[in-house]
Structure formats: C-alpha cells, structure tokens
Amino acid sequence: MKSFQVADFNAPLREVDAPTPQPSGTQVLLKVKAAGVCHSDLHIWEGGYDLGHGRKPLSLKDRGVSLPRTMGHESVGEVLAFGPDAKDTAGLKVGDIVLVYPWLGCGKCETCLGGDENMCAVKPNAIGVYCDGGYADHMTVPHPKYLINLNGLDPVTAAPYACSGVTTYSALKKVEKDFNTPIVIFGAGGLGLMALSLLKAMGGKGAIVVDIDARKREAAMAAGALATVDGKAPDALEQLTKAAGGPIRAVIDLVGNAATAQLGFDCLSKGGKLVIVGLFGGGAPWALPLIPIKAITIQGSYVGNLRETKELLDLVRNMKIPPIPVTTMPLAQANQALLDLQKGKLVGRAVLTP
C-alpha cells in the first residue's frame, strides 16, 4: 500500500510503500476511495495549537500524537475484508462503500459506553490523529460499528461528513432552539458552507456569514447565506446588527481566533450563546464582567458522536442536501493540498482520491 505520512512536524509528508495490512481481530480492511483534507490536519502537521497570551503552544506530541502518522479523518472506502473476530459486521459486506467514523476513544470508559467516544478522556484514539488514517490507498478500521454504508451517496462529496459535516451538525444542534431567528456563522470554508446547507435542512431561518476572504463570502451567498460581512471591516459589528434585523441569540465560530471570538461575543444579545468550534488559536479576548452582565453562554463543540453522524447521513439523504464544493486531487498531491489549505487558496474542501 502507498501512504503519505507526517514523519516530522512542519516537514513535507513522506511517501511510504509498505505491505497492505491484513485485518486482525475485529478490524476491517478498506480500499480508500476519498480522503478529505481538513484544517485540523494542518495543526497535526504543524504539531500543535497556539494558545495565545504568550503561553507555550499546545504540543500534540505531549498529547500522545506520535510520528510517523498517516493523517486523514474524513475517509470513505470500499470494504475488502473483515478480521476473523468481526462477527457482527453491522450489516455490511465486502464491496460496500462506507464512511469511516473516526472519533474513537478507549471504548471502555463510561463516556465511551454512553455513546460519546469523541469525548473520551481516558485514551483518545481518533483515526488519522492517534492512529493511521485515509491519506493512503488502504486503511484498517478497528470495528465494523464505525462504518456507515453510504447507500449510493457519492464517496468524494460524502467524505467531509465525517468531520466538517458532523462537526457543524453537532454545533447547530447546540443552538437549535434559536433557529427561528438568524444565527451568525464565522468562517465560510468547508465547515461554514456545510453549516449553511445543514441549517436550511434542519429548519433554520438562515445565517449571516462572516469571513475576511471575499471569495469565500461569495461562496457563502451562493450557498444560501442571508448576508455576509467582512470581519475586518471597521463597522463589522454594525453590519451584523443591521443584517440580523433584531437580537442575535446564537453565534457559531468555526474559526476560533481572538478576533472572531471577540466579534462573536460582542454581537450577541443578552442571554445569547457563543459556540466555538474552530481551532485556529489564540487567547480568550473577553472582558470577564461582561459575561455575567450579558448572561452569555460560551460553549465548546468538539466534532460529534457516532449517533449524530448517522443522523446526519439520514438527513443528507432524506432532504437531498447539496454537497459543498470540493476540489479533487490525486493522493500524490497530498502535500500540495495541505499547502493550498494553509495559504487559504481552497474554497470548500480538498479531497484526495487514491
């Protein structure tokens, strides 16, 4: 099998040829059909997160991410073989095209057994982060229960549902009670465009999208945004207030830097909720007294669980949700895809096709 691995942080991915693995235990062997290139991959590639306020960056090595590592947590593949102990194959058979749910935990703690493996604090084991993922032509998955049959959905456009899809779906669920008013979404990349499509399918009134890139604002309007605002504009707050036409009760920040967090906080009405999803980096910018004065809820949202991912795919099928724009690139261009993402050249999602 061929894969592209992070051998050293901040260094080009290394092309590796190795024997194709054979599934053991409950594992499933897949032939990779598509692998999305996510902004989180940049942080893995770079080795950490900026915490702001002069703090030492959060090291992924210190958090258990070992090298070499084959990234890729937005993966679709064809089932090739089951391990000898995979008795419960979740109704799957050889030849099925499946989406890989990647946000695994230890599988044994109370959180994991309750269905929230993405929140496991004992031993996170996310595919493409802590174990090898989809930047390869083959991959293994620990158990069939983490595979969701696409049942006819296009592998390339479906791959991002494993991260950008379930991440935005889970974040939107956290502000669902405010869908009768316009919400504000920061970021019009792959997650932002996905959020717009899902919001409409979930019955939301719509969203005002904030992005500093004019091309991405145009993409957001094409995807159904009520309005867009340049986050760098000196009157961005006034533009948001005017576009909303009333109180802003919910903000989803898909960027997650000090500037977006501050503007998102400032535009909220009393009792509003700021859901932070993005991991761009930096320190919290808010004046602490204003949090209780405005009775603001600030909540983090980390990907989503397996149940939410299955709900998402059902929603996509039933509501015929249009896919976000994707740029397909051969697996051999994995390095270029990361560089294009790092430089902000991509609209939507880059998807590697081995």
Predicted confidence (pLDDT) at residue 139 exceeds the cutoff of 90? yes
Instruction: Report the percentage of the chain scoring pLDDT > 90.
Output: 90
With a CB cutoff of 8 Å and minimum separation 6, the contacts of 147 are 28, 79, 90, 92, 96, 98, 99, 100, 101, 141
Span of 134-148, 260-274, 340-354 with lowest mean pLDDT: 340-354
Residue 347, pLDDT score: 84
Digit-coded pLDDT (tens) for 270-294: 999 999 999 999 999 999 999 999 9
**Token couple for 71:** 């990234």
Q: What is the pTM of this model?
A: 0.94
Q: Using CA atoms, how far apart are residues 195 and 210, in angstroms rounded to an integer?
A: 13
* Nearest to 15, CA basis, from 332, 352, 341: 332
pLDDT at 88 over 90: no
- State the Cα–Cα distance between residues 5 and 199, nearest whole angstrom: 35
> Is pLDDT of 300 > 90?
yes
Residue 121: predicted pLDDT: 93
pLDDT score at 49? 87
Please give the pLDDT value at position 229: 98
Identity (one letter) of the amino acid at 40? S
Give the chain's mean pLDDT: 96
Task: Provide mean pLDDT across the span 63-85.
Answer: 96
327: Cβ contacts below 8 Å, ≥ 6 apart: 346, 347, 348, 349, 350, 351
Percent of all residues in the chain with a pLDDT value above 70, rounded to a whole number: 100
Residue 169 has pLDDT above 90, yes or no: yes
- Of 182 and 49, more confident: 182
Question: In the prediction, which pLDDT does 348 show?
Answer: 84
Band of residue 95 on the pLDDT scale cut at 50, 70, 90: very high
The DSSP bridge partners found for residue 99 are 76, 148
Contacts 24+ apart (CB under 8 A), 200-207: 200/224, 201/315, 201/316, 201/319, 201/321, 202/172, 202/176, 202/315, 203/179, 204/172, 204/179, 205/179, 205/180, 205/181, 206/182, 207/182, 207/183
How does residue 61 score in pLDDT terms, banded at 50, 70 and 90? confident
pLDDT score, position 186? 98
For 309-349, how does the pLDDT look when each residue is reduced to its tens digit (9 = 90+)?
999 999 999 999 989 889 999 999 999 999 999 998 888 89
Q: pLDDT band for position 90 (50/70/90)?
A: confident
